[in-house]
Structure 1
Amino acid sequence: MENNKIGNYRWVICGLLFFGTTINYLDRQVLSLLHPILEEEFGWTNSDYGMITSIFQLSYAFFMLLAGRFVDKLGTKKGYAIALVVWSLGAIIHAYAIPIGEASVQFLGILGFGGLSISVTGFIVARLVLGMGESANFPAAIKATAEYFPKKERALATGIFNSGSNVGAILAPLTVPWLAHYYGWQSTFVIIGSLGFLWLVIWLIFYDKPEEQKRLSKEEYTYIQSDTVYDIHPVDEKKEKISWLKLLKFKQTWSYTIAKFLTDGVWWFFLFWLPSYLKNQFNLSGSEITLPLSVLYTMTMVGSIGGGWLPMYFMNKNTSPYDGRMRAMLIIAFIPLSVFLVQPLSDISYWIPVLLIGLAASAHQAWSANVYTTVSDMFPKAATASVTGIGGMAGGIGGALFSFIVGKTFDYYMATDNLNFGYTLVFSVCAVAYLIAWAIMKLLVPKIKIIKIEEIRD
């Protein structure tokens, strides 16, 4: 009843962020599902595919650092819109990877570089553009959440919009194999990549800053601005200029950044390598992987939303937002230990690894919903996208290194006819990453200290 009096337009914004994130992940997931087809057509090795995915992650990482600043300067509405146009075009040009590769190889030859095949080069260029655009999704979404939600609701809102990544991952195996079968892999990239332009129209119509939003009631606006207990930033932050160098001086920045570096690669592995895992370990491909992947990524939706709810349980017991989040994240960090059992139990049925990996992936999304929100717990709104971008860059670099090493590891153990051990090594790293990350975060920021705007002003 109270919410009805206040109004619920902030949840409309959360819905917009949810669908934007769904499209974001749907676009990046197409390649992993087409990997078996492209691998056979172009003769790729695991190292080739690892290099292609690493370039996406490096591009994502580098531009995420810039994206945070970009969104802070242009504002959420314009920044998100421009990013979506770039990543949608990046998704579409995958269809033209071969002519792009031919032109790029020629150009690299003139410069004295070479060695990569036309297909690998073409997909690297396409992934680079995709990563450039997609890098702004989370800085923009986190900033929008900080603008439209009081702190006690931000983890839940983040968990809901972040679950769009799971929906995108679910929709991909339901649609991509079918589209590829009937229309070919090139048309699949074009069709999926074009969806973003539909969302763009809705975004431009319904999103404005809260103070300019005509659809927002005065009561809801007051509620959004009601962080009287923890809000120590009474200054007007709309036009504040934030110094990156000053941000890097704070342990709070490094706490978030290291956590992203250590754990993002696990999610990238689950996202980009699972179709290949099901093919190599269980000889599943095409439409055969649709059901197990759909079940796995459906599980991650529960983790994303549940992870947003868990810290609220502690906050309702008068725990500060940061302390409540850290308690929730410690519980979540134990769940990925389940993947230690993936290879030992894989002989029983492929459903055992699928469910165990699904449990770990669900924990990652629960972790992600909270680690993102620690930024708005510790920093003023004017710095939220910038800090998110710094951490996102670290996460992308960590993911790129992990993906590159995974490709080399699988090729090495495949050559020695011991690929099972290669998977055991990789899953072991995934299992312990979160506990290590949590321990470092707690060591760096044992107690909450909120950074004041004047401490980071440029």
Structure 2
Amino acid sequence: MSLPQIGRRSWLLLGLLFGIGLLNYLDRQTLSILKATLKGELSLTDTHYSWLLTAFMVPYVIFYILSGRLVDRFGTRICLSLFTAVWSIANILSGLAQNFGQLAASRALLGAAEPGAFPAITRVMMTWFPKERRAFAWSLLSPCMTAGAILAPPLVAIVTNYWNWHMAFIIPGVAGVVLAAAWWLSDRNPPTFPSEAEEVTAPPPPMKTILQDRRVWLLLAARAMTDPVWYFHLSWLPGYLQEKLGLSLKQLGWLGPIPSLLGSFAVVAAGWTADRYVRKGISPVRVRVGMFAVMAAIAPIGALTTFAPNVTVAIVMISLVAMVCQIWFFGQSMLVADIFPKNSAASIAGLLGAVGATGGLIINAIAGPIIERAGYVPVFVALACLHPLAAWMLWKARPRLASPVAATA
């Protein structure tokens, strides 16, 4: 049986999603990379930095839920164009900020717009790519999005050293406005796949119905446990490498991308391996959860990060944890596609993102005061336990996750 063909427009949109995902990660990383610089420029403490992260995370959590429903209701063309344009404008405003209050306000606007990208991407992939070939396209896209985290340290360092820290925010913001316009012009006339036509055109179910499905709650619990690890690495590791291990901004520009780069390669390898086992007839749910368990066994090494004798060993440990985080993030997106219909995918992705972001909000809000009083050790140790706990829970729940109908009783 021949596989469904993928049109040129689908690959064009995948390329645009590459750029949108790249900027999404780059724009949020800019603040963390410039943490040491901004502490001097704006007289900030670690507690102030926690407040900036909180200003981003509170609207991020709220709008994750709202954006998922908006995507299911109005589609990806208008929603993703709007989300990208708004967060790019917010990034420009961050570059124009002259004090803590202005910077906090612009980060709040960024937090309101950025989460919408992920429910929209889930819906785009399920609309423009047939299920028989979706995993391959998604495995390409997932590492591409983390390219923003890979490129952020050297780009921010180069722009800051050549011009100033303001331009490190403004230039990506302008690029984002251009990408938003390109998406608006390109996302039209999606293909129809006969076996999925009814699912695509069905209206989204009420949120109450979605929340009655116990499988949703299992995935929400796993996301709440694991996302704080990734949010902490995104927000605090650049500052840790500079302030505790003595890296300059220029050195961070070269060494900082390594964990995300290795994590991206790990995602591609994991996607290829998972598809291989699925083709052998093993349940996709069993494959994904097995992949989670294998990676969770590596996560505890993160507890040893602060005891690393030098920068090289620290980077190795951080890279291993980055692999764990990125494979879990990719795998959970695939689980949504494996388990739930298209007409609720963006809503469920929004719920998962909101719960994960809530965990990120909490860890970012409390990390500053804890680090100021007790150092990094208790934070790294606590985070190292989360992936193993989540993997154990999902492994026990495999039969329920693989059930073809919601378990509401």
* 1:273 aligns with one of 236, 244, 257: 236
| Aligned partner of residue 25 in structure 2, secondary structure | helix
Aligned to 1:186: 166
Aligned to 1:158: 138
* 2:175 aligns with one of 186, 195, 198: 195
Q: Per the alignment, do residues 428 and 159 of structure 1 end up closer, same or farther by CA in structure 2, a change over 3 Å counting?
A: farther
Aligned to 1:85: 85
Q: Runs of at least 4 residues of structure 1 off by over 4 A? A: none
> Are the counterparts in 2 of residues 307 and 365 from structure 1 also a CA contact under 8 Å?
no
Q: 1:444: how far off? A: 4.4
Q: 1:321: how far off? A: 2.0
* 1:407 aligns with one of 357, 361, 368: 368
Aligned to 2:394: 441
Aligned to 1:113: none
Aligned to 2:225: 262
Q: Per the alignment, do residues 360 and 366 of structure 1 end up closer, same or farther by CA in structure 2, a change over 3 Å counting?
A: same
Aligned to 2:60: 60
- 1: distance between equivalents of 2:378 and 2:276? 36
Aligned to 1:392: 353
Counterpart residue type for residue 127 of structure 1? R
Q: 1:445: how far off? A: 4.9
- 2: distance between equivalents of 1:187 and 1:234? 46
> Are the counterparts in 1 of residues 299 and 388 from structure 2 also a CA contact under 8 Å?
no
> Are the counterparts in 2 of residues 30 and 189 from structure 1 also a CA contact under 8 Å?
yes
> Deviation string for 1:254-289 (max 9, x for gaps)?
122112211111111111111110122211121121
| Aligned partner of residue 297 in structure 2, secondary structure | helix
Q: 1:293: how far off? A: 0.6
- 1: distance between equivalents of 2:148 and 2:301? 24
> Deviation string for 1:91-112 (max 9, x for gaps)?
11102333xxxxxxxxxxxxxx
> Are the counterparts in 2 of residues 155 and 370 from structure 1 also a CA contact under 8 Å?
no
Aligned to 2:259: 296
* 1:145 aligns with one of 117, 125, 138: 125
> Deviation string for 1:382-429 (max 9, x for gaps)?
00000111111101110010111211111112xxxxx3xxx2222222
Aligned to 1:361: 322
TM-score (norm 1): 0.83
Q: Pairwise mapping of residues 24-35 of structure 1 onto structure 2 (< 5 A)?
A: 24-35=24-35
> Are the counterparts in 2 of residues 152 and 312 from structure 1 also a CA contact under 8 Å?
no
Aligned to 2:339: 378
Q: 1:161: how far off? A: 1.7
- 1: distance between equivalents of 2:57 and 2:270? 25
Aligned to 1:105: none
Aligned to 2:249: 286
* 1:322 aligns with one of 280, 285, 296: 285
- Structure 2: state its 5+ residue gaps: none
- 2: distance between equivalents of 1:143 and 1:82? 16
Counterpart residue type for residue 407 of structure 1? G
Deviates more, 1:305-314 or 1:170-179: 305-314
| Aligned partner of residue 450 in structure 1, secondary structure | coil
Q: Percent identity?
A: 28
Aligned to 2:47: 47
- Residue 424 (1) aligns with residue 377 (2): yes
Q: Per the alignment, do residues 164 and 53 of structure 1 end up closer, same or farther by CA in structure 2, a change over 3 Å counting?
A: farther
> Are the counterparts in 2 of residues 142 and 158 from structure 1 also a CA contact under 8 Å?
no
- 1: distance between equivalents of 2:6 and 2:130? 14
- 2: distance between equivalents of 1:239 and 1:274? 44
| Aligned partner of residue 412 in structure 1, secondary structure | helix
Q: Per the alignment, do residues 369 and 44 of structure 1 end up closer, same or farther by CA in structure 2, a change over 3 Å counting?
A: same
Q: Per the alignment, do residues 7 and 404 of structure 1 end up closer, same or farther by CA in structure 2, a change over 3 Å counting?
A: closer
- Structure 1: state its 5+ residue gaps: 99-118, 212-220, 227-232, 414-418
Counterpart residue type for residue 284 of structure 1? L
Counterpart residue type for residue 49 of structure 2? Y
| Aligned partner of residue 67 in structure 1, secondary structure | helix
